[in-house]
Chains A and B, each alone.
Chain A
Amino acid sequence: AAGVIQSPRHLIKEKRETATLKCYPIPRHDTVYWYQQGPGQDPQFLISFYEKMQSDKGSIPDRFSAQQFSDYHSELNMSSLELGDSALYFCASSLATGTAKNIQYFGAGTRLSVL
């Protein structure tokens, strides 16, 4: 079965640079979530989209933005990168209806290292 695809898997950037993370949800899933997981920590919610509209926002820095496109893939854009942005970034997708609703399936994550 198709899973959530994230790219790239690893990304190394310098401070103050910009990064773009991509997420391709499971086909027919209508909701996408982004989470940030720092070393030794639990995942923290950043932002979500339902049917291409932003549905919720967590502790996402103003330097970060995200959108969901017409083909349902989503991108997380991160500017003016700081050392503290080094983390594992997960995308998850889910269905809003049906027996499997609310189950979030996660991609393998993008490991961002800011040097």
Chain B
Amino acid sequence: AQKVTQAQTEISVVEKEDVTLDCVYETRDTTYYLFWYKQPPSGELVFLIRRNSFDEQNEISGRYSWNFQKSTSSFNFTITASQVVDSAVYFCALSEPYNQGGKLIFGQGTELSVKP
């Protein structure tokens, strides 16, 4: 069965600190996609990144970076120089192969609080 685990329920940092959100997944599929979504206090779910199982290159987008390691089934997310606006719940998710429906299986979420 597929599963996503975000062991950190809550993280609190002070502005400008770097913070890493951990994500570990389980799947028997050889082809799959991994995602990160942000849910700010307003409630919407905002897409941040998609990574497919064949691409283990790390990615950087501004202050955000992602580390995908297939060997440890991890897809961690780092925010550099955090800002108050980064305060949100962050979800890691795994999708089934599209021919199986493609639904997202979410982790429990990590609530990040960035204090000024």
Contact = CB atoms under 8 A, between A and B. Distances in A.
Contact of A102 (B102, B108, B109): B102
A58 B2 CA distance: 14
Nearest to B103: A45
User: Of B43, B50, B103, which is in contact with the most chain A CB atoms at under 10 Å from its CB?
Assistant: B103
B64 interface: no
A104 B47 contact: yes
A31 B102 contact: yes
B110 to A, nearest CB: 11
Interface residues of B, number: 22
Contacts of B103: 33, 45, 48, 56, 58
Contact of A106 (B44, B50, B98, B101): B44
Interface residues of A, number: 27
B43 A102 contact: no
Contacts of B37: 106
A106 B47 contact: yes
Contact of A108 (B44, B47, B50, B105): B44
A43 B104 contact: yes
Contacts of A109: 43-45
Interface string A11-53: 0000000000000000000010101000001111100100000
A32 to B, nearest CB: 11
Contact of A111 (B43, B47, B91, B95): B43
Nearest to B52: A102
Nearest to B4: A42
A96 B98 contact: yes
A105 B43 contact: no
Instruction: Give the top 9 A-B pairs by smallest Cβ distance, nearest first.
Output: A56-B101, A42-B106, A106-B45, A45-B103, A108-B44, A103-B50, A102-B33, A42-B109, A43-B106
Interface of A: 31, 33, 35, 41-45, 48, 55-56, 58, 88, 90, 92, 94, 96, 101-109, 111
